[in-house]
Amino acid sequence: MQLFEESSLNEVKNKAFLTYVEWGPKLLTSREQRLSEEFPEVAADVRATWIEEFKSVNSEIWKVAEEGGPKSYTYETFAKRMSTSFPFMNQVALERAWFLVGYFAWREGYR
């Protein structure tokens, strides 16, 4: 029995990604625990697979930041790059990832 339809699963996965990259006081709780608490209906092995994919997304965000971030890319080229590698990402997830690119590029002096 499948718990989610594909589109519904991607919606949940996008929400999980946003939980994975959230900031602030929630960082005191591990990403694994936050995802477990926020998405108990998602099997632990699925969450673990998502975490590995989210790590890859985060690595790609850092690569783009190191390449100059908004100085070197437009949002459109970034979104295309990310959508090709991570087709689950919706507009909200792409916008959050783009924000992180700009923040990391600024914070680390890449731009």
Pull the structure tokens for residue 97.
């990832």
The domain ranges of the chain are 6-108
| Confidence label for 78 from pLDDT (cuts 50, 70 and 90) | very high
Residue-averaged pLDDT of the chain = 92
Q: Does residue 58 contact residue 21 with C-beta atoms inside 8 Å? A: yes
Residue 72 is encoded by which pair of tokens? 């070197």
Are 29 and 69 spatial neighbours (Cβ–Cβ below 8 Å)?
no
pTM of the model: 0.88
Alpha helices in the chain (DSSP H): 6-20, 31-38, 44-66, 75-85, 91-108
